[in-house]
Chain A
Amino acid sequence: MSKVKASIVGASGYTGGELLRLLLFHPNVEVVQATSESYTGKFVYKVHPNLRKSTMLKFISTNELEPCDILFLCLPHNSSQKRIDEFKNLAPRIIDLSADFRLKDSAEYEKWYGHKHSRPDLLNKFIYGIPELHRKEMKKANYISSAGCNATASILGLYPLFKNGLVEEDRTVIEVKAGSSEGGNKVNEGSHHPERSGVVRSYMPTQHRHSAEILQELSFVKKINVHFSATAIDIVRGLLATCHVFLKENLQEKDIWKVYREAYGNEPFIRIVKESEGIYRYPEPKLLIGTNFCDIGFKKDEFSNRLVVISAIDNLMKGAAGQALQAFNLMYGFDERTGLEFPGLHPI
């Protein structure tokens, strides 16, 4: 079987680099082109030094893109939607890793992103990119919009509870602690090492845009509400979502175990991590660096109906490039785990 010819648009960023790392070693993929306007003509490894001796690919300008089987779009938000027709003419299949096509409702997009969507007619053409929720649609899809990292951890952590109507719809609080790579590779005063190092920075206590994805994907019988906050901490990769929900009935932990086992028992990239001994009793982002796993744990408050759900991922993997590759595998009928088998490192 001939290899799928894939190109990456916006390959000099962290997400693009991570996708390159994965695709270069995927047995069914040939990476044909990688674009960067800032680094046109330069070897890819000059920007992504971990890829030295893995590829002699050079960045090209987007204007030089040739037709291929699939395009991965790793552009800044609000870029893909403006050039989507150009990209659709180049490839029959597209996976967009930006936020441009994640929301189905253009009014919601405008509310959270502060401007009108350029192509609202296409919002329903893209499948929202969490395979555990949309596997069936992905197998037939030509267009997938990869989910946000904070949203992925939050949604996967809470999905079994909302899907089964077990928690109050209006009282969910999610606090995400995130690493610096979530902010991309563009420097600013806040990312300057003396300023960024050692911080516990409340950078988005309310109104985080990923809230919109969480509301969209976890509203089943009625529209739910979530109260989401994000804090930047002193790690490069990884995020931990601590979610507080209130159970409608007084379920015991054994019941919660059953709910999660039923939802995720056969999922290749979800692990329930809740142990009563050892050092890593609950999900720990550092153990997930470079992996496509989402680890989920929980603890019921003995004195109330509060359930705390803890969810961890590598934001560049399950929160971006890894999840996009998982979606790609589904699109093409490959084993979902292909190219994503790395189990992580310990100690790290």
Chain B
Amino acid sequence: MTTECPVCGAQVELKEGTVVGELIECPDCGTELEVVSLDPPTVNEAPQEEEDWGE
């Protein structure tokens, strides 16, 4: 079962036993993704904790 990463468009595999709410990482861009549906397989970008990158 695969779906598309919403950030980079790569194919992301959802392994057997994956559950809604699980966090996975896109193999291409490394973005943390939240599984929001299994039928159809759908992931959203997981909320990030903001870091202070300003100076």
Contact = CB atoms under 8 A, between A and B. Distances in A.
Identify the interface centre among B6, B31, B45: most chain A CB within 10 Å of its CB: B31
Interface residues of B, number: 13
Interface in B10-30: 10, 28-30
Interface string B27-49: 01111100000000000010010
Contacts, number: 37
Contacts of A275: 29-31
Interface residues of A, number: 12
Interface in A227-281: 253-255, 257-258, 261, 272, 274-278
Nearest to B8: A257
A261 B28 contact: yes
Nearest to B53: A281
A272 B9 contact: no
Given A274-B29, A275-B29, A276-B48, A261 B7 contact: no
B30 to A, nearest CB: 4
Given A253-B7, A257-B9, A276-B29, 7 more contacts: A254-B6, A254-B8, A255-B9, A257-B28, A257-B29, A258-B9, A276-B31
28 contacts: A253-B7, A253-B8, A254-B6, A254-B7, A254-B8, A254-B9, A255-B9, A257-B8, A257-B9, A257-B10, A257-B29, A261-B8, A261-B10, A261-B28, A272-B28, A272-B29, A274-B29, A275-B30, A275-B31, A276-B7, A276-B29, A276-B32, A276-B45, A276-B48, A277-B32, A277-B48, A277-B51, A278-B30
Interface of B: 6-10, 28-32, 45, 48, 51
